[in-house]
Amino acid sequence: MLSKIPPQLQATEVSPIVQYNTVEGLKKTLTVIRGVQSLLSDPFNWHQGGFAAYKTRMPDNTVLVEDLCDFNKGASPSWKSPKANCFCLLGAGSRVVHNSNYALRNAFWSDPIQAHLQQAHSMHKSVADFNDSPSTEHHHVLELLTLAEKYVIQAIDVRAELDSRSIQQGNTHVC
């Protein structure tokens, strides 16, 4: 399904992810993506159909899922629930950002993921659409996160090189 970063997604000096972010910001994005990878590494912790849920494995190995999304009753987001033990991609990212106290919007950390979806999965219009698609399996989610991780690492290297060149040329303002 996904195997490598498409050539269009190579992080270059003109890539928006490089142009509009600092090395520190990109490192935070990388930390969030790695946190999402860790949180979703166990297939039991991955969820489709909502930001978060509570799963219970019964003695007969069946799994009961309690949906924690109840926005109509003014409940807090499901990914904040201490009871939540499984998450979609966006719910996992929200949980990681919330627990790390990073001031990152979900859109920022998920931009590299969205970029890969646009190139590799034109049928999926969003991260949520990809996550919740009946054809998406757990290993597809992990593959996508690995590609996003590689892309951000590449962006960090490019941004650091640009910053270094800027300092060497005597420019003290670094984006």
The pLDDT profile of the chain, 175 residues, written as one tens digit per residue, is 444 445 556 666 666 677 677 888 888 889 889 999 999 999 999 999 888 888 888 899 888 887 766 554 545 567 778 888 999 998 898 888 877 766 655 456 777 777 767 666 456 778 888 899 998 999 999 988 988 888 889 888 888 888 888 777 766 555 5
CA proximity to 45, closest of 89, 103, 14, 101: 89
Q: What is the pLDDT of residue 41?
A: 97
- Amino acid, res. 110: S
Q: What is the pLDDT of residue 21?
A: 78
Q: pTM for this structure? A: 0.79
Would you state the structure tokens that stand for residue 137, as one six-digit string? 């399996």
Q: What is the pLDDT of residue 175?
A: 52
9 in helix, strand or coil?
Answer: helix
For 52, phi then psi, to 5°, come to -155, 160
Residue 23, CA atoms < 13 Å, CB-side half-sphere: 10
b vs e for 4-34, b when ≥16 Cβ sit within 10 Å of the residue's Cβ? Answer: ebeeebebeeebebbeebebebbebbbbbbe
